[in-house]
Structure 1
């Protein structure tokens, strides 16, 4: 039979099943009573404007049930060691990764500001060994009963998958370079780039140029527009230097110096007055400065097997003699 890092599934499964029914928290007490400020913050974050959550007779949104039981960084005094012991056993068997899969809540009475919440938690179930796309492991479900003055207010079930990550076969070919998102509003710009033309939108109502492309003018509201072709001349208005691990998609030998990183990404002010974000190339990243003159050029990237064909991108090269 197959194993999880040397522990037979039947042996491990039996040991895990022994945790079912064991308490994970006993007589826990919420660190704060139900309170109006926390309700307000929750509703603002969720965009919930229901009148039931405001005013002198306000109740807490039912979905806040677990909020009142959270222990913060230091945890709760009522917490037992059973849950940590269970997770430690899974870690030791090779199930070192975890992902939350779902939760279920049942509401029995509303919670109101001033209510003092108490709770008990139990390890309700541990599944048999399961194989998923993430890897092989076990689903662990805990149930928390939330009470106010001894009366059950609600039940929260939380389920995780604790698993050993699947061993993934590396891709047969280098992944393709990430492509820009093209939609109906900016398709014309990328069509121009494919033809090695830098097109700028121009409002036909007020004549203002704009970039990025928009469906309408943000100055006068006119929905009609045409385009002008930029000269490609510009200056570095601002810039950042990117530091990140090497990506397989950015290893073209002919541009390795620009792709290996660190590299500069600039906000370029074109001669026409609009600004555009793109890579600054042609000088080391630590030589890029605000005000440096640049000129647009276009690069093509061939992605083996890509259905969309070659990818063209505009970059800005420092004008020769500068930098």
Structure 2
């Protein structure tokens, strides 16, 4: 099998592909707003990390595709490697892209790994390299790696029991965020406000991102908010975590956003704009986490039992923040 897969190494996945749209200000603006970078120098130039955006073909695809990638995937799927996950990407930038530039690109299947066994399952890593140009001049390259795998068998009852005994991750408490966790222990969601420019901020930081002042005051949030964005976590299934569950970017009434679990509604019923209210979930004798319960008529038939398994990511989100 591996020899058949290796035969695809070096083959072209795209020849002289052409970006569907030139580099343009609306797309740059959308990207910057999504990244929270509205105050930057863009859109005079495109953010370098947008490199792949200008090569995407959308649902209808791009001219220049050779079909080799599809052949490789078909071979893997016939052999039982039916699942896929993106693992990592690497980009190099040679010059900025500017509005009006029209990109062209070539893509090559750079490598196929020997069969590997991971926690997700057994499969093959496939790496594709794309070289991007404007008027024949190299502007960047993009290397993208995926794992095409056969899902591992479900965990045994013994491993499930081990998960039940596992502790959820402890938040990393330091001098910058200790006040936040002290507030949580007292049943309060505390936000910082700059004493100089009055800008609220979260997560907790030693200085103001707007004016640079190191002086601030903490105040208690109302707990009202709405889902600004969200993801549903399926993998990886760490001990003490019970996927799938919804992790939301919650926009609070005070104007800041924080990451937390959305509870009280099935994970597949969470929606952008859904109103939520703060509540505190006692995870164990030592740990309490702030989570957000969906409010109003969600039409999902949720019950209190929905929240118990959906509090997994909050400790990591806050503890590993700034």
Provide the TM-score with structure 2 as the length reference.
Answer: 0.53
Q: Identify if the C-alpha distance between structure 1 residues 93 and 278 changes in structure 2 by more than 3 Å, giving closer, same or farther.
A: closer
Alignment counterpart, residue 183 of structure 2, candidates 182, 185, 201: 185
1:157 has 2:155 as partner? no
User: RMSD of the TM alignment (CA)?
Assistant: 4.0
Match of residue 38 from structure 1: 27
3-state secondary structure, aligned to 1:67? helix
Alignment counterpart, residue 106 of structure 2, candidates 93, 117, 120: 120
Q: Which has the larger radius of gyration?
A: 1
Q: How does 1:1-323 map to 2 (within 5 A)?
A: 12-49=1-38, 51-54=40-43, 58-172=44-158, 183-188=181-186, 213-215=188-190
How many angstroms does 1:51 deviate by? 4.3
How many residue pairs get aligned? The number is: 200
Provide the TM-score with structure 1 as the length reference.
Answer: 0.53
**CA displacement 1:86-131 (0-9 Å, x = unmatched):** 0111111111111101101111111110001111111111011111
In 2, Cα distance between equivalents of 1:116 and 1:30: 7
In 2, Cα distance between equivalents of 1:215 and 1:46: 24
In 2, Cα distance between equivalents of 1:126 and 1:100: 14
Q: Identify if the C-alpha distance between structure 1 residues 90 and 278 changes in structure 2 by more than 3 Å, giving closer, same or farther.
A: closer
**CA displacement 1:138-173 (0-9 Å, x = unmatched):** 110001111100111110000001111111333346
In 2, Cα distance between equivalents of 1:50 and 1:154: 25
In 1, Cα distance between equivalents of 2:129 and 2:56: 14
**CA displacement 1:247-292 (0-9 Å, x = unmatched):** xx9xxxxxxxxxxx9xxxx99xxxxxxxxx989xxxxx99xxxxxx
Gaps of 5+ in 2: 172-180, 194-216, 221-241, 243-265, 267-275, 278-291, 295-299, 302-307, 309-322
How many angstroms does 1:187 deviate by? 3.1
3-state secondary structure, aligned to 1:114? coil
Gaps of 5+ in 1: 1-11, 190-212, 226-248, 250-260, 268-276, 280-284, 287-300, 302-323
Q: Identify if the C-alpha distance between structure 1 residues 223 and 92 changes in structure 2 by more than 3 Å, giving closer, same or farther.
A: closer
